[in-house]
Amino acid sequence: MFKTRLISGIFLVAVALLTIISGNYVLLFTLACVSVIGMSELYRAMHVHGEKTNLLELAGYAGAAVYYAAAFIDFERYGTMAIIGVLILIMFVYVFSYPKYEANQVMAAYFGFLYVAVMLSFILLTRNLEGGHFLVWLIFLCSWGCDTCAYCVGMLIGKHKMAPVLSPKKSVEGAVGGVAGAALLGVIYAWATGGKMAEYAVICAAGALISMVGDLAASAIKRNQGIKDYGKLIPGHGGILDRFDSVIFTAPVIYYLAKIVLGI
């Protein structure tokens, strides 16, 4: 299992390097595809998906495509418009196909769009900021760096359970180690790229805290729905949502912190 996870992890890093360094349409297309796959995983978990793909799902996927196009053209001008437009589209399907879909399915369809497509789009938006070709990597330093550091510290000295019912293996000591480790990675990254060390440390520490919420939120949904993994797309890791659960929360946080703390 470790070997499988390692190989899959190396492949994911290679894909991330290729797409994020390329930016523009390559990153846009990749994130749109990843978002649709992630949405499909969540739709299955939340019972939006039935025996076959239905109109409600298609509305969510179409909404994701429209939103990405709008965000890529001009997020400040068209982003909110697209988010509201997707809600109207999904409600259109709901009311004109009534009573085919339950209200909880409709809410889950829109939640999937917001939770996966909109949140992940901030990787692209961060990449498009001034200096974004450096700043975008803070998203992954925060999420994956925190996860790794928290795991190591938790294994060594973890005693106090952070969320005993939801995630019994996570400890308070591990969480502190994860945040501290992410802050240290931010300092090292700032030194390597000529960034501002104190600011990067603050951004990474804050992002690490939020990344743990994202990880636990994904776990909570799985527990509620009685599933172990969202999918089997990534050998040893599960589905898209299993691997990007913390990134989903970290991406918008890094985007706005970069604008506020760094004055971009």
- The tens digit of pLDDT for each residue in 239-264 reads 889 888 899 999 999 999 999 999 88
Predicted TM-score of the model (pTM) = 0.93
Which of 60, 183, 190 has the alpha carbon at shortest distance from 112?
60
At 219, list the tokens.
């776990």
Q: Which residue has the tokens 């961060």?
A: 126
Segment 100-110 mean pLDDT: 96
Cα torsion 108, 111, 113, 117: sign:
negative
Q: What angle do CA 125, 128, 133 make, to 5 degrees?
A: 115
Dihedrals φ, ψ of 53, to 5°?
A: -60, 130
In terms of average pLDDT, the best of 73-82, 156-165, 172-181 is: 73-82
Contact yes or no for 121/113 (Cβ under 8 A): no
102 phi, psi to nearest 5 deg: -80, 155
Q: How far apart are alpha carbons 247 and 244 in whole angstroms?
A: 5
Q: What local confidence, expressed as pLDDT, does residue 18 receive?
A: 87
Confirm if 175 and 162 have CB atoms less than 8 A apart.
yes
- From residue 180, give the alpha-carbon distance in Å to each of 138, 139, 205, 210: 14, 15, 7, 13
CA–CA separation, 95 vs 9, rounded Å? 43
**Phi and psi, residue 4, nearest 5°:** -65, -45
Question: Looking at the chain, which runs of residues are DSSP E strands?
Answer: 161-163, 167-171
DSSP 8-state secondary structure symbol assigned to residue 136? T
Q: Cβ distance 10 to 234 under 8 Å?
A: no
Residue 3 pLDDT: 59
Distance CA(165)–CA(181), nearest Å, equals 25
Model confidence at 125, pLDDT cuts 50, 70, 90, reads very high
CA proximity to 80, closest of 115, 112, 52, 118: 118
Averaged pLDDT, 6-30:
82
Mean pLDDT value of segment 138-154: 88
pLDDT in tens, 199-244: 999 999 999 999 999 999 998 999 899 888 887 776 666 788 988 8
Using 50, 70 and 90 to split pLDDT, how confident is the model at 86? very high
Q: What is the CA radius of gyration of the chain?
A: 19
Q: Using one digit for the tens of pLDDT, what is the confidence trace for 44-79?
A: 999 998 788 899 999 999 999 999 999 999 999 999
The pair of structure tokens assigned to 186 is 């931010």
